[in-house]
A and B are shown apart, each in its own frame.
Chain A
């Protein structure tokens, strides 16, 4: 086999741009010895301060290098991938040496172990802990409700001055963290950026505050909700499920999963990576989330074959409208995406599907849309963008230059996958007639949550 990654896919693996640049310099055969590849891995020895053993598992895109760098993947692993892509003849097919096959065997054993671990533990004690936690959250939410009412009593007009660590947002967020509702605390903290941000900020702020009020209201009536929605409410407050709880209570779905796109949001405290998947046979949409803190040496734990597809089993978080998922097991070859599942060619139909999903779970904020036969429209030198279907219906695209999408389309109808946030669509990838699916480059963005 020959690894057919593209440059943007390799770059998507990298922890930062610095690592990419360092890796490019290592992409010449002169830096490498004893390189080789087999169906499941590529490897080589790279001359740095010492001679490092570098290996990439091409099924999972996990990397291993004996260098002391704390970055994962390190520049040597990325450099090896660049080398394979740019000069495939420099990495001949070969039997993996012992150090490679040992490592492959070890990682395979580890992932199996993870998959086989039975869920559970001491359920009685866990149940008691959960009860205590729910009580703390109830007290926290009671206090939050009073605070919200006070905001409305005093009026939102004066909130533009509230910034920084001592702002009223930060103080309320701290109280909610004490009450063990970290997700809700993060939501409150993010409200700080809204006042004064745009002409219609009071409207946007009130809408966010209203959703938060609905969440606490839902929590008080938790027992009246169906079990899926109960899970959604608890997750939205920040009661995380442990991996084994997800495995036990969530839905497992095996399919050929198409990794349609990814983007990264970065704020002061957290970097969030969102990866959208679509099941080739089931048509199911899944969102994989990974988090890390800024300046951490270790980037995200898992690497995905972006813009490609692979057979895998996902487990969805229990929910009234399951969306968030985790990769359990990946098997088989990573291949290019040549066909996408059937999808609508009418934007209004796509929006109707969104409405139906919202009816099941009203706190959802993002949706993967797959649209067939749509054309990007660029207006005013790229200041305004739309995606238009053949009936003349159009959706606005998210702020930014969608030049790659325009270039891939060339004014012809294409298939496009994107993330809809209720207002705008962020294109993630596109497929022109008789071409493979192509990932679009998406710059890192500051979160823009309204």
Chain B
């Protein structure tokens, strides 16, 4: 009947015979009250209006046999409303430069964001901050991620209080994407460095070279002498990049076996000399490149002795030269002479980046 009223109105009554308007129960009773002289169009309009109000009044709920499993209770305390407000402002684009610090502070305090703020945090957190933000979302935040695939970055594969992984986290570690597994290992390393190393050892031989490199890089946080044996093993890895990363990690361990070996090699290469009354630093490649340099990730080749030299020097923490020659970074850079002078900047730049040496970064700048 609805279609009949609408259909008639759509085509226009001019175009068709004026058939009797068919009527169901409530409308037929009303229809009797309409004066017979009333225009056919007017009757149609009034009935349509009444039916609309009847339908609005008769609106019915639907039966929905769906219920989500509720979010588990929170483990962390909710942060203060003031802090929540500040984080909200930052997520919305004010004072964004403070967001990393705020997130870190909150993580440090072991607090989480209030539920009403979670959709914004899940939507607006910059990618670089997502691993840290994940800690602040609580159980509710993890629960919310199931509803929107764009929020999957926050699907926490949780680490239990005692440092063991939850079954979900175990599954992520076994079957997750590289990014998910990296995030998991980063957090595990933060909580339990030894377990993180042990888990990495278990899967080490099965991973591809670029994945091994990314995992190895994570060990720089929480690095200790306990990691030395594993890193020593990594010096015989198939990939030169992995060997190089392992070398740089060993070099930052003050008592590693690798450190004095490599420094001794480097010391033989760079000499302090006096030329025309000023102190200069000259680098001479070895007559024969030792095979063992391969362990450091250097492609040993007798034809490329200068390149091998640069590669070795770039593995030396730049601060070593300050101690050895008692000079400032700037003085050392100025004193680089001979054929080495041309590549000294580039080589030391690489070393500075590898060891995040601020004094040298300033001098190079």
Contact = CB atoms under 8 A, between A and B. Distances in A.
B15 interface: yes
Interface string A384-422: 001011001111100001011011101110000000001
B259 interface: no
Given A149-B39, A156-B9, A351-B59, A407 B49 contact: no
B42 A149 contact: yes
Interface residues of A, number: 67
Contacts of B221: none
Given A157-B11, A206-B5, A382-B147, A394 B45 contact: no
B70 A210 contact: no
Centre residue among A155, A401, A410, A438 by max chain B CB count within 10 A = A410
A152 interface: yes
Contact of A362 (B15, B53, B140): B53
Interface string A432-450: 1000001000000000000
Nearest to B69: A411
B42 A410 contact: no
B143 A411 contact: yes
Nearest to A393: B61
A384 B273 CA distance: 78
Contacts of A21: 94
B56 interface: yes
Interface string B1-22: 0100110111111110000000
Interface stretch (A34-42, A66-74, A124-132, A373-381): A373-381
A211 B15 contact: no
B9 A152 contact: yes
Contact of A210 (B48, B64, B81, B149): B48
Contacts of B52: 207-208, 210-211
Interface stretch (A186-194, A315-323, A353-361): A353-361
A42 to B, nearest CB: 16
A438 B116 contact: yes
B196 to A, nearest CB: 31
Contacts of B58: 355
A145 B42 CA distance: 8
Contacts of A382: 147-148
A351 B60 contact: yes
The A interface is mostly helix, strand or loop, or mixed, namely: helix
Contacts of B47: 210
Interface stretch (B82-90, B229-237, B290-298): B82-90
Contacts of A4: 81
Contacts of A46: none
B199 interface: no
B106 to A, nearest CB: 15
A85 interface: yes
A87 B86 CA distance: 10
Contacts of A351: 59-61
Contacts of B62: 386, 393-396
B218 interface: no
A411 B71 contact: yes
Nearest to B14: A153
Contacts of B330: none
B119 A86 contact: no
Given A213-B42, A392-B63, A7 B85 contact: yes
Nearest to A7: B85
Nearest to A154: B12
Contacts of A423: 56, 59
Nearest to B147: A378
Given A210-B48, A210-B51, A359-B57, A392 B65 contact: yes
A200 B131 CA distance: 47
A358 B9 contact: no
A351 B62 CA distance: 12
Nearest to B93: A21
A214 B46 contact: yes
A320 to B, nearest CB: 14
A415 B244 CA distance: 60
B66 interface: yes
Contacts of A393: 61-64
A358 B42 contact: no
Contacts of A412: 70-71
A99 to B, nearest CB: 28
B119 A404 contact: yes
B15 to A, nearest CB: 7
Nearest to A363: B53
A157 B13 CA distance: 12
B14 A213 contact: no
Contact of A347 (B44, B61, B89): B61
Contacts of A422: 55-56, 59
Contact of B149 (A153, A381, A396): A381
Interface string A140-154: 000001001110111
Nearest to A88: B82
Given A403-B119, A406-B144, A407-B119, A206 B6 contact: yes
A212 interface: yes
B68 A411 contact: yes
Contacts of A377: 64, 66-68
Interface string A259-300: 000000000000000000000000000000000000000000
B115 interface: yes
11 contacts: A6-B85, A152-B9, A207-B48, A212-B49, A213-B46, A351-B59, A375-B67, A377-B68, A386-B62, A407-B115, A423-B59
Interface of B: 2, 5-6, 8-15, 39, 41-42, 44-53, 55-71, 81-82, 85-86, 88-89, 94, 115-116, 118-119, 140, 143-144, 147-149
Given A148-B41, A213-B45, 17 more contacts: A148-B42, A149-B45, A153-B41, A155-B13, A157-B12, A203-B2, A206-B5, A213-B48, A351-B60, A355-B58, A375-B67, A382-B148, A394-B62, A394-B63, A395-B61, A411-B70, A412-B71
